[in-house]
Amino acid sequence: MRYSILSLARNALTRHEHWPAAWRSPEPKQSYDVIIVGGGGHGLATAYYLAARHGVRNVAVLEKGWLGGGNTGRNTTIIRSNYLWDESAHLYEHSLKLYEGLSRELNFNIMLSQRGVLNLAHNLHDMRELARRVSANRLNGIDSEVLTPARIKAMVPILNTSPKVRYPVLGASLQRRGGVARHDAVAWGFARGADARGVDIIQNCEVTGIRQRDGVVEGVETSRGYIQARKVGVVVAGHASVLAAMAGFRLPIDSHPLQALVSEPIKPIHHSVVMSNAVHVYVSQSDKGELVIGAGIDGYNSYAQHGSFPVIEDQMGALVELFPIFSRLKMLRHWAGIVDTCPDASPIISKTPVKHLYFNCGWGTGGFKATPGSGWVFAHTIAHDAPHALNAAFTLDRFTSGALVDEHGAAAVAH
């Protein structure tokens, strides 16, 4: 069913009690052309683009929990593409462009709000790095500009731009096309679009083993039995190393908790996204009125989806330093996702030592903004058994060749 003003009116007449399910819940078949392990945004986008762009429709998405219940539902929904290096800039910009047309393409409102993303600078080094990154962005055709403290103050009046604080705001980069989107809607929209094209979305189905013969993948063992597959794409974020161990190799990845929290809802007061690497917090305000607040990872490896309190204390301190007006705000909910951090803070979207087994991982703290672009290039990689030009640099081999894509400056903290 196509969503439209007419379908809305028709369903209003029947008190919204007869909307059809947005996707089926089929029993798994015995075999598929492609199995995608992981029903988060990236996995569902991969399945969608496999079906929509490459004509590969005999596809299953296996999700151990519920759709978008991992990092897709746990991030702070920030979208931007102002990365330093060409390889990253091209990939994230492609993703941002897909986001800009996604509600229309999926016939599903992902509530993209391009309200502008500010990255603050608090010292001379920050300013130099920022100016360099803005210039690099502009050479890559990405909208990016440097703001003075006066212009920042005009845009974000509640931000403390006093020169007398310990870490004064000296400037900021602004990407006006950056912003936020409704993270659940991104997963649901891709799920609905993939399902409509014949993809089987199977929830509560955990992969427990990867079967291979003579170095070629044959299928996956799951909590709902063995399922055969010609190709398997694994996109499971924090559990990437666990799945790699099933296939017999290791990844350059450590899994860490990344915590976030939201405040009680308040009236609209914060209309952009503000991120600070040096004082270390990022904050936006949701349509419900909650401040959505994030910062850095906990320092130790974990699969627990919760972290330690000092990390929260630090980011609350940073929030109040930047926005004194928030000092008496109560926090409502607090959670963590398990992020797969890579040594160069760049993703791995790659073939693996096992033939017809592909991994998409290592997005660390910043995968949400890349969801459509990641699915786009991963679908290409699986369909053609070769990377797309946009992800050719993001192979597992780069850790052997040394051709790392070091994005710690643009990626390590601020998401």
Partner 1 sequence: MLLIECPWCGFREESEFRCGGEAHIVRPLDSESLSDAEWADYLFMRTNPKGRHRERWVHEHGCRRWFNVERDTVTHEILAVYRMGEHPPAEPATGGRRR
Q: 211: Cβ–Cβ under 8 A, 6 or more apart, which residues?
A: 217, 218, 219, 220, 221, 226
User: Closer CB to partner 1, residue 369 or residue 398?
Assistant: 398
Considering the rule CB under 8 A, would residue 100 count as an interface residue with partner 1? no
Instruction: Find the binder of partner 1 among 2, 16, 18, 250 (CB under 8 A).
Output: 250
For residues 388 to 407, the per-residue mask of contacts with partner 1, x marking binding by CB under 8 A and - elsewhere, is -----------xxxx-----
For residues 345 to 384, the per-residue mask of contacts with partner 1, x marking binding by CB under 8 A and - elsewhere, is ----------------------------------------
User: Closer CB to partner 1, residue 66 or residue 309?
Assistant: 309
User: Closer CB to partner 1, residue 19 or residue 300?
Assistant: 300
Query: Shortest distance, CB of residue 347 to partner 1, whole angstroms?
Result: 15
Query: Shortest distance, CB of residue 401 to partner 1, whole angstroms?
Result: 7
Judged on CB neighbours under 10 Å (0-12, 13-18, 19+), 111 is middle
Considering the rule CB under 8 A, would residue 343 count as an interface residue with partner 1? yes
Considering the rule CB under 8 A, would residue 272 count as an interface residue with partner 1? no
Say whether 118 sits in a helix, a strand or coil: strand
Helix (H) or strand (E) holding 32: strand 31-37
Considering the rule CB under 8 A, would residue 288 count as an interface residue with partner 1? no
Candidates 372, 1, 329, 401; CA nearest to 185 is: 372
Candidates 361, 346, 364; CA nearest to 403 is: 346
Contacts 24+ apart (CB under 8 A), 409-413: 409/84, 409/129, 409/133, 410/82, 410/83, 410/84, 410/88, 410/133, 411/83, 411/88, 411/345, 411/346, 411/364, 411/365, 411/366, 412/277, 412/345, 412/364, 412/365, 413/277, 413/280, 413/295, 413/296, 413/365
Instruction: Find the binder of partner 1 among 25, 216, 303, 384 (CB under 8 A).
Output: 303
Considering the rule CB under 8 A, would residue 299 count as an interface residue with partner 1? yes
Considering the rule CB under 8 A, would residue 254 count as an interface residue with partner 1? yes
Considering the rule CB under 8 A, would residue 273 count as an interface residue with partner 1? no
Considering the rule CB under 8 A, would residue 300 count as an interface residue with partner 1? yes
Instruction: Find the binder of partner 1 among 242, 266, 329, 392 (CB under 8 A).
Output: 242
Residues β-bridged to residue 35: 60, 232
- Residues of this chain that interact with partner 1 (CB under 8 A) are 239, 241-242, 245, 250-255, 299-304, 308-310, 343, 399-402
